[in-house]
Amino acid sequence: MLNALTPQAPDKILALMAAFKEDTRDGKIDLGVGVYKDASGLTPVMRAVKAAERQLVETQDTKVYTGLAGDPAFAETLSSLVLGAARPADRLAAVATPGGTGAIRQGLELIQMAAPEATVWMSDPTWPNHPAIIKYLGMKAGTYRYFDNETGGVDFDGMLADLAGVAPGDAVILHGCCHNPTGANLTLDQWRAVATLLEEKGAVPFIDIAYQGFGDGLEEDAAGTRLMVEAMPEAIIAASCSKNFGIYRERTGLLMAVAPSADKLKVTQGAMASLNRVNFSFPPDHGARCVSMILSDDALRADWAAELEEVRLGMLSLREQLATALRDRVGSDRFGFLAQHRGMFSRLGATPEQVEAMRRDHAIYMVGDSRMNIAGLNAETVPKLADAIVAAGV
């Protein structure tokens, strides 16, 4: 049987990581990998996470399975963090998942279960796992324009024009904040316009919120998601704790679904739990329990929020440093969009050839579409990147 297997296309980011590791040049810069790193290149364990883990070791008296949906306290605390006052408790179904990717997968399977003929619409560009999972599941896919390479901002007119083609029952994937891979976000007015359009069309928003707290702040980054939940009769939300809690390897995510009515909550919750059962049975608990402990303890929550704010401000500072360095070198503000983007990523607007030139000549590694991880920089490497961008003719 296994003789019939054929080679799978290599993951571009993993291949980039391998090439970076093999590069023996001093001063090489990794802007490809999609994890937060501090100025020393370390992805640290947050103070509140360490404190919660210490408490957990001392107080936990069993490793028995949680329920199919995971620990109810995790669903309650994380959904409250994401949705705030917009959280519709009488219509909100939720299940814990293995990371945000698991939540995306389960959300897509929920759509497939409810509406097998639905088209799932994605921004162009989007996180590569969105189209990969949709293709694997055999679902119909559509794209809408999103990023304007000329301005470095959102092509909102193009987005609305393309979304005018959605059909009733279709699902539209929206990035809750810190758009991956571009860093360009919708304004609240644009969120309202999208909500109005989707409601008119009878489509369902599927919001992927993986970077809450990395952009403009915990509350500000959730504003678009909350607006959409308040405006729409139904919504699906996939949340990740990998970035804002720094627990990447714990695989901690939550899938939420806002049912159209309180009467439909039980069947929606049951469908989501059944998907957990056939995919992985019981979800992982260690990271989820640490998150719920942090969010339900005032002191831990305050320390976590303070450290997360330090991370956010540090990335904003790097953005401003890079935009300023490029302004000094090119004599214009054409790279000013880098300071306006939010989150870890920005799409530079370089061609694959220019990206390759930066790798070849300057040992700077970024994805071929010129997505770069701002968190891979520090005060010393910003000028090196600016020089390389100019030398490559971007």
List of domains in the chain: 11-45+301-389 (3.90.1150.10), 65-296 (3.40.640.10)
| pLDDT the model gives residue 340 | 97
What's the pLDDT score for residue 373? 96
Per residue in 252-262, pLDDT (tens digit) is 999 999 999 99
- Which of 121, 127, 191, 304 is the catalytic position? 127
Name the average pLDDT for the chain.
Answer: 96
Mean pLDDT along residues 86-93? 97
243 catalytic residue (yes or no): yes
Residue 8 has pLDDT above 90, yes or no: no
Give yes or no for residue 190 having a pLDDT over 90.
yes
Whether 357 shows a pLDDT value over 90: the answer reads yes
Q: Provide the percentage of residues in the chain whose pLDDT is more than 70.
A: 100
pLDDT, tens only, 167-185: 999 999 999 999 999 999 9
Q: What is the average per-residue pLDDT within 199-222? A: 98
How high is the pLDDT of residue 12? 80
Active site annotation includes 127: yes
For the chain, what is the HEC assignment? CHHHCCCCCCCHHHHHHHHHHHCCCCCCEECCCCCCCCCCCCCCCCHHHHHHHHHHHHHCCCCCCCCCCCCHHHHHHHHHHHHHHHCCCCCEEEEEEEHHHHHHHHHHHHHHHHCCCCEEEEEECCCCHHHHHHHHHCCEEEEEECEECCCCEECHHHHHHHHCCCCCCCEEEEECCCCCCCCCCCCHHHHHHHHHHHHHHCCEEEEEECCCCCCCCHHHHHHHHHHHHHHCCCEEEEEECCCCCCCHHHCEEEEEEECCCHHHHHHHHHHHHHHHHHHCCCCCCHHHHHHHHHHHCHHHHHHHHHHHHHHHHHHHHHHHHHHHHHHHHHCCCCCCHHHHCCCCEEECCCCHHHHHHHHHHHCEECCCCCEEEHHHCCCCHHHHHHHHHHHCCC
Is 210 annotated in the active site?
yes
- Annotated catalytic residue: which of 51, 94, 96, 210? 210
pLDDT at residue 119 above 90?
yes
- Catalytic entry in 191, 203, 243, 259: 243
pLDDT score at 10: 80
Average pLDDT of span 338-366: 96
pTM of the model: 0.96
Catalytic member of 148, 162, 170, 208: 208
Confidence of residue 350 (pLDDT cuts 50, 70, 90): very high
Query: pLDDT tens-digit profile of 75-86?
Result: 999 999 999 999
